[in-house]
């Protein structure tokens, strides 16, 4: 049994009318322009180009490239469009099977129905609609069940009842069951099967590197300094990711979320963006990402039950947040190859372990993380800003 790697995939990169209704995709990437010199420019696709997932050949190429990297499946958004649930899974379905399937991220905060009380019959009918949307392609199961990540687990009205309704609907429609993940840093509550580390903008364990003092704020007000210094949050990538990986045993049953970079300034035109920075101002440092992903897989093997061992990769094509591993014009295939090598190396280490040899590995992993943390501290000390371009 290997550790699964599931990558978030934005299915809005297609020409279907349903996808266009949600915005995003290539038009949004073309329209995004940095508001500050401190905002890294967004990557542009190379190799696959501006593909259209609605075209079978393009979807096949996307899935084939992901398979070649060792990825076991995609996580696609599940959204309520006012009439039914939409996932974009139909575009990928012909290329899924037992070795590469789909998991789902339910954007339940956009689904107002589940945020307020409703009659039981209405709730059962809506639950059935949601479950039908999860049966359009081969699954990427955990513990033999279809994976559904609840984006805002506390937003559900009567959480325990909502979860029970979803499980009942899955059983009624012949699914093998639901593996429910709560997107959040808190321990598992309300009947979820496990927790998933939140995204970089939702959970910051380390402190931002830009904390302007009173004089700096006056400079910003006078127009002498870039306003993003006060409005956005910059974090050194190395310290940010290592702080997420230490003391995993205290997190309980929580699955790691791994990302090569992150800068969501397109979603925050008026400030409030989260940006991860590297030494020399580079938006992505493949070497550190490779270590992050490899160690996340090793730790997942030793902290999660068999059959439930997974790492979630953010992301396959998150071009609007700088987290994509698809080849880009700026980085070429460096990030993609870092992911491929990390997955292959972690699986080799796990495969070559003799039965019963699991105990020594966590200590080796902890030693490596200590080394990474020490190196990260040296970088921050040298730059004074963790590589921030501000």
Question: Of the candidates 139, 251, 250, 157, which has an alpha carbon nearest to the alpha carbon of residue 196?
Answer: 251
What's the whole-number mean pLDDT along residues 131-160? Answer: 94
Task: Say yes or no to pLDDT of 308 above 70.
Answer: yes
Task: Give dist(CA 268, CA 82) in Å, integer.
Answer: 26
What's the whole-number mean pLDDT along residues 353-363? Answer: 53
Task: Give dist(CA 193, CA 184) in Å, integer.
Answer: 13
Overall number of domains in the chain: 1
- pLDDT computed for residue 385 by the predictor: 42
**Cβ contacts of residue 83 below 8 Å, gap of 6+?**
none
Question: Of the candidates 93, 88, 81, 181, which has an alpha carbon nearest to the alpha carbon of residue 138?
Answer: 93
Biggest alpha carbon distance in the chain? 65
Confirm whether 389 is domain-assigned.
no
Per mean pLDDT, which of 144-148, 222-226, 376-380 is the most reliable?
Answer: 144-148
Task: State the average pLDDT for the chain.
Answer: 86
Distances (CA, A) of 229 to 178, 202, 219, 294, 384: 44, 20, 10, 33, 15
Output 109 or 230, whichever has higher pLDDT: 109
Domain that holds residue 193: 4-383
**Cβ contacts of residue 273 below 8 Å, gap of 6+?**
39, 228, 231, 232, 233, 263, 264, 265, 267
- pLDDT computed for residue 329 by the predictor: 94
* Token pair recorded at residue 86: 């939409």
Task: Say yes or no to pLDDT of 386 above 80.
Answer: no
- pLDDT computed for residue 281 by the predictor: 77
Half-sphere exposure of 24 (CA within 13 A, CB side): 18
Confirm whether 199 is domain-assigned.
yes
What's the whole-number mean pLDDT along residues 143-147? Answer: 97
51: cis peptide before it, omega within 30°?
no
- pLDDT confidence band for 315 (50 / 70 / 90): very high
Confirm whether 316 is domain-assigned.
yes
Question: Of the candidates 137, 126, 136, which has an alpha carbon nearest to the alpha carbon of residue 84?
Answer: 126
Percent of the chain scored above 70 by pLDDT?
84
- Could you identify the residue written with the tokens 């393009």? 58
Burial class (CB in 10 A: 0-12, 13-18, 19+), 231: middle
What's the whole-number mean pLDDT along residues 5-23? Answer: 91
Task: Give dist(CA 143, CA 305) in Å, integer.
Answer: 9
Confirm whether 50 is domain-assigned.
yes
- pLDDT computed for residue 387 by the predictor: 39
Task: Give dist(CA 279, CA 226) in Å, integer.
Answer: 20
Helix (H), strand (E) at residue 336: helix 334-351
- pLDDT confidence band for 22 (50 / 70 / 90): confident
Task: Say yes or no to pLDDT of 372 above 70.
Answer: no
- Whichever domain contains 198, its CATH number is 3.20.20
* Digit-coded pLDDT (tens) for 149-170: 999 998 888 888 999 999 999 9
What's the whole-number mean pLDDT along residues 327-332? Answer: 93
Confirm whether 390 is domain-assigned.
no
* Digit-coded pLDDT (tens) for 199-251: 999 887 777 876 665 656 666 666 666 666 678 888 999 888 888 887 777 77
What's the whole-number mean pLDDT along residues 120-138? Answer: 95
Confirm whether 388 is domain-assigned.
no
* Digit-coded pLDDT (tens) for 249-289: 777 899 999 999 999 999 988 788 999 998 777 888 999 99
Identify the DSSP state of 114.
Answer: G
- pLDDT computed for residue 97 by the predictor: 97
Confirm whether 36 is domain-assigned.
yes
Task: Say yes or no to pLDDT of 76 above 60.
Answer: yes
- pLDDT computed for residue 373 by the predictor: 55
Task: Say yes or no to pLDDT of 376 above 70.
Answer: no
What's the whole-number mean pLDDT along residues 55-63? Answer: 97
Angle between helices 237-245 and 286-303 (to 10 degrees): 10
């Amino acid at each position: 049994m290997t550790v699964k790697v599931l990558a978030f995939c934005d299915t809005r990169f297609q020409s279907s009318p349903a996808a266009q209704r949600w915005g995003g995709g290539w038009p949004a990437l073309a329209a995004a322009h940095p508001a500050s010199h401190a905002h890294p420019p967004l990557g542009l696709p190379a190799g696959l180009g501006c593909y259209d997932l609605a075209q079978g050949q393009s979807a096949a190429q996307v899935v084939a490239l992901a398979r070649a990297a060792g990825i076991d499946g995609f996580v696609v958004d599940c959204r309520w469009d006012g009439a039914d649930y939409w996932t974009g899974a139909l575009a990928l379905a012909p290329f899924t099977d037992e070795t590469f399937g789909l998991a789902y991220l339910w954007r339940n905060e956009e689904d107002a129905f589940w945020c307020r009380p409703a009659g039981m019959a209405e709730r059962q009918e809506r639950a059935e609609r949601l479950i039908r949307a999860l049966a359009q392609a081969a699954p990427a199961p955990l513990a033999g069940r279809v994976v559904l990540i609840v984006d805002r687990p506390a937003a559900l009205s009567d959480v325990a009842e909502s979860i029970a309704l979803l499980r009942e609907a899955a059983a009624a429609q012949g699914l093998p069951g639901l593996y429910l993940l709560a997107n959040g840093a808190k321990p598992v509550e309300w009947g979820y099967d496990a927790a998933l580390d939140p995204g970089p903008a939702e959970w910051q364990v380390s402190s931002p590197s830009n904390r302007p003092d009173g004089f700096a704020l006056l400079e910003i007000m006078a127009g002498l300094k870039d306003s993003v210094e006060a409005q956005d949050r910059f974090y050194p990538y190395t310290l940010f990711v290592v702080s997420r990986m230490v003391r995993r045993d205290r997190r309980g049953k929580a699955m790691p979320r791994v990302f090569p970079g992150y800068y969501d300034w397109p979603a925050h035109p008026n400030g409030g963006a989260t940006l991860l920075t590297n030494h020399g101002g580079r938006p992505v440092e493949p070497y550190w990402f490779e270590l992050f992903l490899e160690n996340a897989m090793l730790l997942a093997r030793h902290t999660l039950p068999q059959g439930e061992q997974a790492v979630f990769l953010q992301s396959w094509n998150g071009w609007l947040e700088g987290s994509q591993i698809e080849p880009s014009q700026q980085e070429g295939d460096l990030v993609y190859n870092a992911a491929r090598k990390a997955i292959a190396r972690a699986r080799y280490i796990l495969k070559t372990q003799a039965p019963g040899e699991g105990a020594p590995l966590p200590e080796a992993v902890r030693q490596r993380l200590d080394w990474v943390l020490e190196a990260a501290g040296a970088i921050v000390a040298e730059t004074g800003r963790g590589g921030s371009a501000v």
